[in-house]
Amino acid sequence: MAIETKHAETLALHAGWRADKSTGAVAVPIYQTTSYQFRDTEHAANLFALKELGPIYTRIGNPTTGVLEERLAAIEGGAAALALSSGQAASAFALQNIARAGDNIVSSTDLYGGTWNLFANTLKDQGLEVRFVDPSDPENFRRATDDRTRAYYAETLPNPKLQVFPISEVAAIGRKYGIPLIIDNTAAPIISRPFDHGAAIVVYSTTKYLGGHGAAIGGAIVDGGNFDWEKFPARQPALNTPDPSYHGTVWVEAVKPLGPIAYIIKARTTLLRDLGSAPSPFNAFLTLQGIETLTLRMERHVANAQKVADFLAERSEVSKVIYPSHQTGQARARADKYLKGGYGALIGFELEGGAAAGRRFIDALEMFYHVANIGDARSLAIHPATTTHSQLGEEAQLASGVTPGYVRLSIGLEHIDDILADLEKGLKAARA
Ligand code: PLP
C-alpha cells in the first residue's frame, strides 16, 4: 500500500517499501545478489525489451537500491531516480546521457572541485566541451548557448562562496531552447526543491547529508519527469533518434508507457550497463538508513549552523562570515527565494591572521574532524588554501572565493554549546 503524501518526513520513512512479501521484514533487506531468476522465457524477454520493469542483474538494478531510488524520487518530487556508486558518477552520467562528442554544456563556475576537474579535463578529453559562466547573471547562460548546447549545470549552494544559484531564472532560459537545467543539490537537500523552480534533473552526492553518517560513498540522479524532451528533437537527439546501443530504440517513444522517465531509463539501460558505477546493495542500505532521519537532521544542522554563523560574526578574530543569512542584496534575495527552513550547514569565514591563523585554528580544534568532506552528522573543518585548493595559484584561489585565511565548516548535530566551545579553542589559537 503506497502512502499518499507529499511530506518529506513521511516519504523518507515509507516511500518505496512497506514490508518484505515473504518474511514481513520491515527494514529494507539487503539483497546481496548479482542476478535474478527469470520466471520463464517470456518474463526474461519482457524485461530485456522494457515491456516490464524488474531486476535483471545488479549492475543495472537491485531491489535494495530500487527502494532507495523510489524514496529519493518521492522526497525530491521527481518521477524516478537512478542510484550510482558516487556523486562523481552522477554528475558525469547526468551529462553523458544527453551530450556526445562535439556537443557542449553551459555550467556555472561555482562548482565542487571534483566536478570542475571532471568538466574541464575528463569530459573535454572525451570531446564534450563545458563552457563555464558566472552565475550571478543568469543571462550568461543564454550568451554561451549555441545549437550544440545540450544542458545547463549548476549547484544550488556551492561552496566556498555559498551564493545560491538562480534556479528559476536559468531554468526558464533553458526551457525556451529545449535545454534542461541539471542541479547538484548535494548541499541543500530538503531545504531546497529545485524541481519546484523549473530544474529538470537533480543530482546528489548521497555521500553527504543523505547518507549523513560519513559511512558510504554514493550518488544519484533524479529525473523530474517535467521536461518535454520530445518537443525539441533537434536539440535532444540522444532521446529522440534511434539508439544503436539498444536495438534502435527511440527513448521518448519506447518509454512513454512507463511514464515521463525516458531520460533516467536511458541512463540506466545504456550508461550504467556500459560503464558500471552501480552502488553495492549494502551502501544503498546505509544510504536508506540515513535518509530515514534526513529531515530531522537537516533541521538540527541548519539551526546549529545559524548559531555558529552568528557567533563567528561577533568575533574580533574573524574578518568575514560567509553564510547565506549573512549576505545582502541579490545573494541574500536568492537565498531567501530558494532555501526554505534554513540556510544550510556550510559556513565559510575569514580569519584576520591569514593562512598562518587558519592553520593554527584547525590544529587547535579537538571535537571538529579535520577532513575533506561535508554533510556528516559530526562537525567538520578544513583550511582550503593549504588543502583542497592548494594546487591552485593564489589568484585562482581568490577567484574561487578562497582567501588565505578562509576556513570551511560543515556544522554537525552535536550540542551547540560543545560546537561553540571547540570553535573557541580554535579562535584562541588563531589569535596567538
Ligand atoms: N557534488 C558536490 C557538491 C560535492 O561536494 C561532492 C563531493 O564532495 C560531489 C558532488 C562528489 O561526490 P562523491 O564524493 O560522492 O563522488
Task: Identify which of 186, 201, 202 to mutate to test ligand 1's pocket (most ligand atoms within 8 A of the CB).
Answer: 186
Show pLDDT as tens, one digit a residue, over the chain (432 residues): 577 899 999 999 999 999 999 999 999 999 999 999 999 999 999 998 888 889 999 999 999 999 999 999 999 999 999 999 999 999 999 999 999 999 999 999 999 989 999 999 999 999 999 999 999 999 999 999 999 999 999 999 999 999 999 999 999 999 999 999 999 999 999 999 999 999 999 999 999 999 999 999 999 999 999 999 999 999 999 999 999 999 999 999 999 999 999 999 999 999 999 999 999 999 999 999 999 999 999 999 999 999 999 999 999 999 999 999 999 999 999 999 999 999 999 999 999 999 999 999 999 999 999 999 999 999 999 999 888 888 777 887 888 788 999 999 999 999 999 999 999 999 999 998
Task: Identify which of 93, 95, 112 to mutate to test ligand 1's pocket (most ligand atoms within 8 A of the CB).
Answer: 112
**Of 62, 59, 60, 81, nearest in space to 15 by CA:** 81
Cα separation values, 123 from 91, 172, 318, 399, Å: 11, 26, 39, 22
- Contact status, residue 352 vs residue 360, Cβ threshold 8 Å: no
Residue 108 in contact with ligand 1 by CB distance below 6 A = no
Residue 376 in contact with ligand 1 by CB distance below 6 A = no
Compute the C-alpha angle 370/417/428, nearest 5°: 60
Residue 277 in contact with ligand 1 by CB distance below 6 A = no
- Contact status, residue 101 vs residue 127, Cβ threshold 8 Å: yes
Backbone angles phi, psi at 419, to 5 degrees: -65, -50
Spacing, Cα 88 to ligand 1 middle (Å): 6
Amino acid 50: pLDDT: 85
Amino acid 1: pLDDT: 57
Compute the C-alpha angle 261/267/273, nearest 5°: 135
Spacing, Cα 93 to ligand 1 middle (Å): 14
Q: Which residue matches cell numbers 538494478?
A: 61
**Of 68, 425, 353, nearest in space to 219 by CA:** 68
One-character DSSP codes across 236-289:
-HHHHS-BGGGTTB-HHHHTGGG-S-HHHHHIIIIIIHHH--PPPHHHHHHHHH
Q: Which domains does the chain have, with CATH numbers?
A: 8-290 (3.40.640.10), 295-430 (3.90.1150.10)
86 grid coordinates: 558516487
101, with CB counted inside 10 A (0-12, 13-18, 19+), is exposed
Q: What CA–CA distance (Å, rounded) separates 358 from 152?
A: 35
- Contact status, residue 359 vs residue 386, Cβ threshold 8 Å: yes
Spacing, Cα 114 to ligand 1 middle (Å): 7
Residue nearest to atom 4 of ligand 1 (CA): 112
Residue nearest to atom 5 of ligand 1 (CA): 112
The β-bridge partners of 82 are: 221
Amino acid 393: pLDDT: 77
pTM (2 d.p.): 0.97
Cα separation values, 149 from 98, 129, 153, 165, 227, Å: 10, 9, 11, 20, 16
What residues contact 146, with CB distance under 8 A and at least 6 apart?
104
Residue 113 in contact with ligand 1 by CB distance below 6 A = no
- Contact status, residue 47 vs residue 38, Cβ threshold 8 Å: yes
Residue 12 in contact with ligand 1 by CB distance below 6 A = no
Amino acid 394: pLDDT: 82
343 grid coordinates: 540556510
Q: What CA–CA distance (Å, rounded) separates 308 from 288?
A: 29
E strands present in 67-109 = 80-84, 104-108
Residue nearest to atom 8 of ligand 1 (CA): 373
Share of the chain residues as helix, strand and coil, in percent rounded to the nearest 5: 45, 15, 45
- Contact status, residue 215 vs residue 279, Cβ threshold 8 Å: no
Q: What CA–CA distance (Å, rounded) separates 218 from 67?
A: 15
Residue 114 in contact with ligand 1 by CB distance below 6 A = yes
Q: What CA–CA distance (Å, rounded) separates 166 from 137?
A: 9
